[in-house]
A and B are shown apart, each in its own frame.
Chain A
Amino acid sequence: MSVWVIADQRNGALRKPAFEALSEGRRLADELGTSLEAVIVGHNVEGLCNEIASYGAEKVYLIDHELLATYNPPAYARAIGDLIKEKQPQIVLMGGTMTGRDLMPRIAARVGAGLAPDCIKLEIVDGKLKATRPAIAGKVRVEIGYKSDIQMAILRPNVFEKLEPDTSKSAEVEKVPFEPTDLDTKQKLVEFVSKETGRPELTEAEVIVSGGRGMKAPENFAIIEELADLLGAAVGASRAAVDAGWRPQSDQVGQTGKTVSPNLYIAVGISGAIQHLAGMSSSKFIVAVNKDPDAPIFNVADFGVVGDLFKVVPLLTEEIKKIKAQEG
């Protein structure tokens, strides 16, 4: 009756949401008085087991096979799902990466377990998991209970606290054999086209600077990028900016784009349509710069600046540079 975390890795590196899931899993396991165990799937990923252990997992199931080197939904779901059916953990968690959102429903269907997605809070009530998640574009919160013995949940990235790793900890590693089937070869990831910008991924960033229609032209995003780089931030965009072709689809924050929960979200020239708010209103702090004092973004902003973004943003960048230089 242990708590399990499926630790998401890509190219041999664990993803940040995996650490958040391990940290939350540790907390739930302590509350239930049970062990925290992890599953890792990939090829040549045994080296990651120590890192998983440093977040409190006492045991790691290692499923290592050439066919699992890259994400393969049917094969991953079969490998992990059958292990869950055999070992019967009480709770199974995974971070809400794109892999997590895609894979967990398959596993849950295979196991016949209840699944709650995009969770922002997990609790143990009467020995069972209770999950809280936003729905209908963040307009309501839903509390979900489970009727299945195995209780599964996907965690919204950047919401759950990540523990400090303790490298003195170690975990028992159990190698799980994997025998390929016909289904596993029906799909193959043939290429990964990298669109890395050198900036953090939006869903995992601590700080995001986003631009909207008020940016007026694609080249004006240079002032957003300069501020973002100074803050180590990701760059986002509203739907208007993406639809105008100023920014790539992958930058879009909001209902038809990404849902983000950074510590600080700086909305520049974004009016704050309901579709945009759906994707960023769970940010811890929101700063808005807009020339329209009645823009709805100010209703959710902790700090709103009514003014010309083309004056305010470069000045802000200069001021932060000065402070950084002083701290030098």
Chain B
Amino acid sequence: MKVVVFCKSVPDTETRVKLKDNRLDKSEIKYILNPYDEYAVEEAVRMKEAGKVDEVIAISMGPERAREALRSALAIGADRGILVKDDALDGSDTYVTAKVLVKALEKDGVDYGMLLFGQQAIDGDTWHVPGQVAEMLGLPQTGSIIKLEVDPDAGKAVANRLVEGGEEIHEMSLPCVVTCRKGLNEPRYPSLPNIMKAKRKPIQDYSIADLGLSPEEVGKAGSLTEVLSYSLPPKKEAGKKVEGEPEEVVQALVKFLKDEIKVI
């Protein structure tokens, strides 16, 4: 069985966000492989190590820097990469992103048994693309999983999905879509030899023309939503800070909870 892992290049969590003319100023941002995608890559590579999967393909849509995200996935153990890169893709919403990724899968022709995603990307935080891809391909889907058992011979997967108040256990026929989150596994740190090896693994580039798409179908032109503006969240005013004997500070806190928040 072959599996495909979807990878996104995202700003590092520690990045300070600056705005310029109501848009994101990306000049000083450091980019990493989306941490949620690491769980997906790790899970796919473990399936390969367990002999259940014979090829792990990492795919990304994004600008040139997305190649580095793919290299990170290859260093963890993915076998090859696909990068969909085109200036016309700038400004694409999640619907277009899903559409383009589906086209790239078709173009590659990979006979996949499973598509693995991170539950969300830590920049957009939409959680959209996995479900959109699953629907476009007519596949079953279990999101936010913390446990996965796959039986390629029986064509089945069982996944535990973390929800409010417990876990839903879903049984799916293959091929299927899963989205991965913390709790599923502990992603490895790639070894230096594996990082070096990743540099020699193949990455296939596609433009939108390669995928049979026109500029009008992608980017801002093809999107169903548009970003009207970015703004910084309202700055929170510094609150009270008390220090002193426990009895005194607790009295002050109780007064605050009682008079201002009215929770007691």
Contact = CB atoms under 8 A, between A and B. Distances in A.
A134 to B, nearest CB: 7
Contacts of B93: 114
Nearest to A316: B250
Contacts of B243: 293, 305-307
Interface in B225-243: 225-233, 236, 238-243
A148 interface: yes
Interface in A251-285: 252, 255-257, 263-264, 274-275, 278, 281, 285
Most chain A C-beta atoms within 10 Å of own C-beta, residue among B130, B224, B243, B258: B224
Most chain A C-beta atoms within 10 Å of own C-beta, residue among B165, B183, B249: B165
A109 B171 contact: no
B117 to A, nearest CB: 11
Contacts of B160: 193
A43 B82 CA distance: 43
A303 interface: yes
Contacts, number: 275
Most chain B C-beta atoms within 10 Å of own C-beta, residue among A71, A231, A304, A311: A304
Given A190-B169, A231-B263, A307-B249, A320 B254 contact: yes
A138 B168 CA distance: 28
Contacts of B73: none
B253 interface: yes
B253 A305 contact: yes
A250 B249 CA distance: 32
B168 A71 contact: yes
A242 to B, nearest CB: 8
Contact of B224 (A112, A134, A287): A112
B128 interface: yes
Interface stretch (A24-32, A33-41, A115-123, A161-169): A115-123
B13 A143 contact: no
Nearest to A149: B224
Main secondary structure of the interface of B (DSSP, over half): mixed
A225 interface: no
Given A73-B141, A293-B241, A193 B231 contact: no
A275 B13 contact: yes
4 residue pairs, one from A and one from B, having the closest CB atoms: A105-B131, A114-B224, A187-B140, A114-B225
Interface of B: 11, 13-17, 19, 24, 35-36, 93-95, 98, 122-136, 138-144, 146, 158, 160-173, 176, 181-183, 223-233, 236, 238-244, 246-247, 249-251, 253-254, 256-258, 260-261, 263-264
Interface of A: 70-71, 73-74, 77, 81, 97-99, 101-110, 112-118, 130, 134-148, 183, 186-196, 201, 203-204, 206-207, 231, 249-250, 252, 255-257, 263-264, 274-275, 278, 281, 285-287, 293, 298-308, 311-312, 315-316, 319-320, 323-324
12 contacts: A74-B140, A102-B131, A136-B11, A148-B225, A186-B140, A188-B171, A189-B169, A190-B171, A192-B167, A195-B166, A264-B263, A305-B249
